[in-house]
Amino acid sequence: MKHILLLFGLFAFALTTSAQYKDSLKTFRKLTKQYQKTSDFVFIPLGSYVRGANDSDIPVSDMNGDYFRSRTVSINSFFMEKFEVSNYQYLEFVNDMIQQDSILGKSYLPDTLVWRIPEAYNEPLVEYYLRHPAYGNYPVVGVSYAQAVAFAQWWTAKYNGNEERIFKKVRFRIPTEEEWEYASKGDCSYSYLPWGSHSTLDENGVPRANFRAISQLSVYRDSIPVESYSGEIKKRLAYLSNGLPMLMAPEIGGSTVIDVTKPVDALEPNSYGLYNMAGNVEEIVDAYYFREEMAYSFSYNDPLKSDKPWGVTKGGSWNDTGYYIQYPVRQFYGDQHSSNSEMGFRLVMDVLDY
């Protein structure tokens, strides 16, 4: 009799737990729909993808060690911002921090001098890009990993302190490299580009992303031997910060004009509704790089530690050729305080309590 009662109790508990789970899932889905209607974040469902490639996929894969042995990576669900963080958004953060602490707040200002690229007249961008209203909806650049993390922490506190918030508690952060790749490819499994095609041009011959055309100058830049962190001489292993002259011959794909960045909502989004996952600005991810070990963080949720040698960016930029806008390709920056005119970021969000 006791055994029967025990089994009955376990069965009843299982039914109750199952019902509670279904109710909880229903509530989460309802809140998710509400949140997506009132924010610039989209829900990225859990899933998996094959990460890595072999040398036969892209012959130049040895240029900077971008590709690893193919393996399946599982990703938990998360929310990702549709757009790269704009000048307007970032200045709201800086102004709020200045009101709290003038000295600390000013330390978060982007470095506008990153626009002083050799052989290019960019003084108007030095003066106007960050603060002029015309550039308010353009991606913020000249920001470092450390500043991006501070922005995410500020946004977290701002959201969790809002009495009208939809979720009880959330955390905004920089995406991991795996999350970024998974979101960038969307539901496409046969292309390294977010729009699911092997071509960088649409049916009318117009570039689908904001990146540089191939020319003698861009090929020369990518062929410059540079010294790596470990002392090796490699082509394009480290991030090249000297930029390109703006006058470029129109050749294969990409932009040949002086537009540099485009608005964060320019061009077409991928299947998840994410804009500019290829080109515009290369995006900071929570990953690090060891040349000696060909290693990166396998802890997909741990923050980047300050003692790691190089940070990683994804997606390529307005100043990169088509190779660099493919989602598996990595580029690098020196440390968590480095910044340049091609590097920006977007956030992801975790729901901690709803």
- Mean pLDDT value of segment 208-214: 87
Backbone φ and ψ for 281, nearest 5 degrees, come out as -130, 145
Same domain, 72 and 34: no
- Range in 189-198, 253-262, 269-278, 302-311 the model is least confident about: 302-311
In the structure, what pLDDT confidence band is assigned to residue 176 with cuts at 50, 70 and 90?
very high
Q: How high is the pLDDT of residue 94?
A: 98
Same domain, 261 and 200: yes
Q: How high is the pLDDT of residue 227?
A: 46
Same domain, 240 and 339: yes
Same domain, 103 and 223: yes
For the chain, the domain total comes to 2
Q: Judge whether residue 96 has pLDDT over 60.
A: yes
Each residue's pLDDT tens digit, 22-79:
878 899 999 999 999 999 999 999 999 988 754 434 434 444 444 456 788 999 999 9
Distance CA 228, CA 325 (A): 22
Nearest Cα neighbor of 276 from 103, 93, 137 is: 137
Q: Which residue has the higher pLDDT, 250 or 37?
A: 37
Same domain, 307 and 328: yes
- Mean pLDDT value of segment 292-311: 48
Joined tokens for residue 272: 């998840």
Same domain, 123 and 103: yes
Could you give the 3-state DSSP secondary structure of residue 38? helix
Q: Judge whether residue 220 has pLDDT over 80.
A: no
Same domain, 99 and 131: yes
Instruction: Give the structural domain span for 345.
Output: 42-353
In the structure, what pLDDT confidence band is assigned to residue 303 with cuts at 50, 70 and 90?
very low
Question: What CATH number does the domain containing 230 carry?
Answer: 3.90.1580.10
Same domain, 56 and 143: yes
The average confidence (pLDDT) of the chain is 80
Same domain, 112 and 50: yes
Q: Which residue has the higher pLDDT, 165 or 299?
A: 165
Same domain, 191 and 322: yes
- Mean pLDDT value of segment 215-228: 54
Q: Judge whether residue 3 has pLDDT over 90.
A: no
Could you give the 3-state DSSP secondary structure of residue 26? helix
Same domain, 251 and 171: yes
Same domain, 252 and 315: yes
Backbone φ and ψ for 279, nearest 5 degrees, come out as 80, -170
Backbone φ and ψ for 154, nearest 5 degrees, come out as -65, -45
Q: Which residue has the higher pLDDT, 302 or 33?
A: 33
